[in-house]
Chains A and B, each alone.
Chain A
Amino acid sequence: MIVYILCFILFLIGLYGVIAKRNLIKMIIGLAIMEYSINLFLIVIGYVEGGTAPIITKNFKHSGFVDPLPQAMILTAIVIGLATTAVLLAVAIRLYKKYGTFDIDEIKSLKG
C-alpha cells in the first residue's frame, strides 16, 4: 500500500510542475514525471510476491510468473511517451528561437 501512495505523490509532484511552473522546460519535465509515475503504478499493480519474469525456461511453473499483461501495455506507453516529449521539446526550441525566452508569461506579453 505504501508503494501505491509513493507513486501517487510522484504524480502530484509532476502536476505541481505542470501547473505552477512558468518555464517551458520545467513544465515538460513535470509532464514526463507524471507519465513515469503512472507507468510504475501499473507495473506495481501487476507484481506477484516471489514471482519471476514472464519468460519460459526449462523448469517453469505456471503459477510463478508476474502479470505479463500490464508489462505489454506499458511497453507501448513508454515509447509513445518518448514521442510526445520529443514533439513538445521541438515546440519549445522553436518558441525560444522566435521569442528568445522559455518563460510563458513573457511569451504571452510579447505577442502584442
Chain B
Amino acid sequence: MELLLVIILVLMIFGSIYSLNAKDLLSAVVSYGIVGFGLVISFLLLQAPDLAIVQVVVEVLTLIIMIAAIKNTQKEELSSKFEAKTLINYTLMIILALVFILIFEKMTGTLSGFGTDTMRMSQTYLQGHKITKSANLVTGVIFDFRAYDTLGEATVLFTAVIGVLTILRIKGKKDK
C-alpha cells in the first residue's frame, strides 16, 4: 500500500520535472497531466472516491483550458540567457526552499506517522450519519455541517466565471 503510493509519487515527481523543463509547451501541458492523473490514482488508493471523481473532472477541464490557451501561440520556449536577474531568482528560491524545509521539519515532528491517524477532530463527524441521515460521511460534512463553506465555494466559482468572461471579452475599448 505504502509502496504503491511511493511509486506513484515518484512518477508524479518525474512528470512535474519534465513538465517544467520541456522545450515544447504542448508536451509540458501533456506531462502536467501525469501529475493530475497520478493524484487521482493516489486518492483512490487512499480511500477517497469522492475526491478522485472531482479530481478527474477538474484535471480534464484544466488540460482543455491549457491547450486552448497555448493553441496558435509560439510553442517554443525562448532559450534563457544567463543574467544577474536569473542569479537573484535562484538565490531567492534557495532561501525560500530552506525556510519551507525548516517549517516542514517542525510540522512533521508533531504529526503521527503514515496510516496512524487518531481522528481527534472528526469524532463527531463519524457519528454524523445519525443526524444527517447521509450514508456518505463526506457529503454529510459538505452539504450539512459545513453547507456555508459550500455556498462560499459556489460564490468563488461564479466569480471566477465572471472574471474569465470579463478578461476575455472581445468587444471593449478599442486599442489605441
Contacts and interface: CB of A to CB of B under 8 A. Distances in A.
A22 B80 contact: yes
On chain B, which size bracket covers the interface? 35 or more
A62 interface: yes
A49 B62 contact: no
Contacts of A51: 47
A96 B29 contact: no
Contacts, number: 230
At the interface, is chain B mostly helix, strand, loop or mixed?
Answer: helix
Interface residues of A, number: 80
Contact of A40 (B39, B93, B116, B122): B39
Contact of B100 (A15, A32, A67): A15
B48 A85 contact: no
A43 B114 CA distance: 11
Contact of B20 (A2, A13, A39, A69): A13
A54 B20 contact: no
Interface of B: 1-2, 5-6, 9-10, 12-13, 16-17, 19-20, 25, 28-29, 32, 35-36, 39, 42-43, 46-51, 54-55, 58, 61-62, 65-66, 69-70, 73-74, 77-78, 80, 85-86, 89-90, 92-93, 96-97, 100-101, 104, 108, 111, 113-117, 119, 121-122, 125-126, 129, 135-138, 140-142, 146, 149-150, 153, 156-157, 159-160, 163-164, 167-168
